[in-house]
Structure 1
Amino acid sequence: MIESIYSNEKKGEKNWNNSNIMFRMPKNIRQIGQPDNSRKIYIEDYVMTYVRQLAMKDYSHYKVAVLLGQFIKIDGGKSIFISGAVEAIGVDIETQTAFTNEIWTNIYDDVKKYFDDVEIVGWYVSKPGMTLDTTDQLLKVHVDNFAGQDKALLMYDSIEKEEAFHVFNNNKLCRQSGYYIYYERNEEMQNYMVENKKANSIDAGYEDKAIKEIRHIIESKKENKPEKEQGNVVNLLYAASTVLAVVVLVIGATMLNNYDQMQKIEKTLNTISDYVIGEQKDLPIEEATQMEEEEEKEKVTEVETMSGEIDKLKEEYEKENDSSKKTSEESTASKVDEEKDSSKDTTKDSNESTKKEEESKEDTSQDKETNEKKEEKETTSKQTTAKPKYHTIKSGDSLISISMKYYKTSDYVDEIMAANNIEDQDKILIGQKIRLP
């Protein structure tokens, strides 16, 4: 549920009531800090850029602007949408009447010229080195010129590049812990920025007092740094240096130990090799020759010799040849008989297999017909029972996100638009019920 909740402007000056305006939530939003859920502030990116540039124009005086936008109620929570800003020229915060009638007339002229369907939702103030906490003087200016609950005050420090929002509630300005920046085309704010852009020129030899003040503030901040912080830094550096020295010593000791161990191992290997070589040299000549002969004997293979008559061996060899021929003839004859029997068996088996294949083909054709009939029945039953689907639009929905949710692709956007007579895919309302094709 999104609706405009109230307007604090007078009816005679300008009709700022937005209750009949359809509000569309921005798509691209960036969170700054931790905003309060009960009261949220949304500021457009061009507005934030403009107020930051405004603070850089002149460092010697306060820079003031009036914030424009809408008060919107979203899901029971109040939200302020800031879509424009107009510079309030000539405002003196330190006087009792900071905003004069002439200043207000110039502000309303600029609002009527550049902006439509907006109302004053707060104001902006900046000065170099100012604290982001409110003072009694700022509270008085706010109460005198921006009466009403939930009017916002944006404070900006141009030196530290920091900002803070305050909202008027229960007769005091309460600092907000965060806000949102949203991104839109915002042609109205762009036109105002282009037409009101002025070049900042400084004559040569001009002594800028504002720059002196800024330098003085920066130097005073540096001088006011407590000595404790410097002492802590020195202590940390000393501790770090001692730790590094200890680490270096440990590494050096381990390297020395390893080097000593390597030298010891090398010495033992050298002594062992010298001992082995020395033993071989001390052996007498006779023992050395005996060892060589034994090694050669081990390498020689023994050959057995057989005694007998050569004629007897020939007769035995011829008998063995005759017996082998007879056995080969008998084996060939048996093989021929076996091949005949096997050919008969294969013909019988082939006839039986052809019959079985024909029977199986008939069975499969019948099964296919029954399955096709079942599938036709199931498709007809699904078509009769299927009902059209609907989707209720929620905050943050778009036709693309709905298409991705139900169809896993964005190609169904045109079909959804055609099914619901939607001409523009961005013109959908929260709570609207659309049909899904």
Structure 2
Amino acid sequence: MVFDDVKYREPERRCRPDRDRRWACLAYGLPGVIDLPIYLDRETADLIERHALRDTSVELGGILLGKECLDEKTGLPFVMVTKSLEAKHYENTQASFTYTHDSWEEITRDRDRLHPDLDIVGWYHTHPDFGIFLSSHDQFIHRHFFAQPLQVAYVVDPIRQTRGFFQWRDGELEEVEGYYLFADRADRIALTRLVNDLENFPNAEGGGGGLSPRLEAQLIAMLTRPVTHHQTTADRTQTAVLFSLIGSLVGMLVLAAGFLFYQTYQEIANQARTLKEVQQSTGEIISAQRLALDSLLGETSDGPDKFTARYNLVVRERDDARKEVSRSKTIDAALTDRSNQLEANILKLTKEFETAKKTVERYNEEKKGSPDLLSRLAFLEDAVKSKAKTIREKDAILETTKDADKIEALINSYQRTWYTAAAGWGLFLVTALGFFTMLGQPKPAVKLRDESTTDDPPPHRIA
């Protein structure tokens, strides 16, 4: 960041607004005895509140204009903030706000054009739902660009509806316990309403002054709603039916609203988890930025130009680190997918192993059911070996036989032997057939009669 040369005026002596009858003053909080008295104009405070409510998703900011003064009675310093200028060119995130060269140039031009008699007495920015404090980044900005003893910082949290000033005290930035809002004495009722709105106190009905920014937003929403025209009827029966239908419709709407509320709750829960992750990542980024800025605090003696170059270099390195983190996340996702595939393959192999294990167990059971299987296999192996030996002997005989006549005689002998064996088998079959035929014939009747007198001795026969 390159800031143009800023000319500072000497504090001027004047009467404090709370002792000047032209002004009406009210305290916000409880200003401490050792606090720097800070007087904030009512219209300026209202404009800052409206600016803070414009966008509560990121930090916004601007410049405070006014006068650095000395009390004409006591000689003690105090600050009057009478105007503010919004920063229109800046770099902001949900948790940081940074002025740029363009924003500073435009602020300088607007101040010279609109308020040439006012000085830059500080700056303001918002902390949406973060509370009132100055981060290390905020302190860095204030120390290097708002380092005058009476320059202040104003922080507004538009969500928690809190706000506070910070002042220099013994070389450190400390929050004051309270400050003053002032306005023209004729606007003291409007001033009272604004202070009550800022401190969340109810206002009495009636009275002058405009609406608070929040009430004005609610009123605009109410005025922009479409007007519903109600029809009346003289017939009580029709009125009852009409109200019954309206009641049914309302019941259906309530059910639909409940379902919609449930869906919205689920979405909000998901968004809350996402925001939590974003907050964690943002915290890491902020820590890295703070570390980089803290490392640069000792290097600002070379001038704003060189500091800006170093700052831009750090920003580029931060962007490169973000890209590297994104690449690492992509690699982790790919490794996760590969791990899931390997787990699926392991599960498949496990199932195949279980199937094979069951098959082996079944084979073992079958093996237990046939204990003589190995002995039978051994017997068959011995028979095969014996036949193989016989075949080898016959092959050897055939190989050693060279005389064709012997071979032919051997073949004829083999044929005669085969014919003789066939004739023998045929004779055996005929004999066996005759034998079984004789056995199948019935025995003589005389034999039956002899059987009936088994007690008599068998007759003696001489063949």
Give TM-score scaled by structure 1 length: 0.38
Q: Say which one has the larger Rg.
A: 2
Which of the two has greater helix per residue? 2
What's the TM-score, normalizing by structure 2?
Answer: 0.36
